[in-house]
Amino acid sequence: MVNDVWAIVLAAGLSTRMGTQKLLLPFEGKTIIEKVVENILDSGIKKIKVVLGSERIDISNAIKWKPVDFVINEDFQQGMQSSVISGVKALPGDARAILVFLGDQPFIPLNVPRKVIEGWRHSGKGIVIPLFEGKRGHPPLYDLKYRNELSHLNPDQGLRSIAQTFPEDIYEVETSSPEIVRDIDTRNDYLYELNKTNTHDRKNSI
């Protein structure tokens, strides 16, 4: 679908609140990280940087057959913004924009990144953010005219610092997808998503 937009998948975290590496937990017959990458590919994005840190060998082994590039974030304990920085610095010079995906959102509908990219192409704005009922979610898109800002993110504010600095360059895309504002941090989050998936599967089989 696109040749100049890259996906950056943030998959370097410690999963402290889960108590185990959440990206390796099963989800719809795969691991969570496999499902995330599969969804990105199915949405039409073929250029993917997966940023690794904690348990990098196990996570990379889970998706080593996928057409992705791995980026090692040695500073992953400094937070999510350090993974964004690592991913951006690993991009080729001809990349024009990035979509930032969380490694713990295996349920993002395929049409969401497509809508965000379409919004970028037609709005002329440099920051495109999906919304659900007015609430901002993932994956946001950043035009790489902001490459320097993305490579020097404020550790306290992360990506929000760019949106706050350039509010006039934001385009918001309303979606009907509550999944964009959910992620999997705790065991209860995980069980909730499994139950939703199982319920959906049961309805479809009736």
SS3 labels along 123-155:
HCCCEEEEEECCEECCCCEEEHHHHHHHCCCCC
Q: Where are the domains of the chain?
A: 5-205
**pLDDT score, position 4:** 87
pLDDT of residue 199 exceeding 80: no
pLDDT-based confidence at 1, cuts 50/70/90? very low
CATH 1.20.200.10 at 5-205, yes or no:
no
pLDDT above 70 coverage of the chain, percent? 94
Q: Which tokens is 62 given?
A: 């889970």
User: How sure is the predictor about 55, in pLDDT bands with cuts at 50, 70 and 90?
Assistant: very high
pLDDT band for position 205 (cuts 50, 70, 90)? very low
pTM tops 0.95, yes or no: no
Give the model's pLDDT for residue 201. Answer: 46
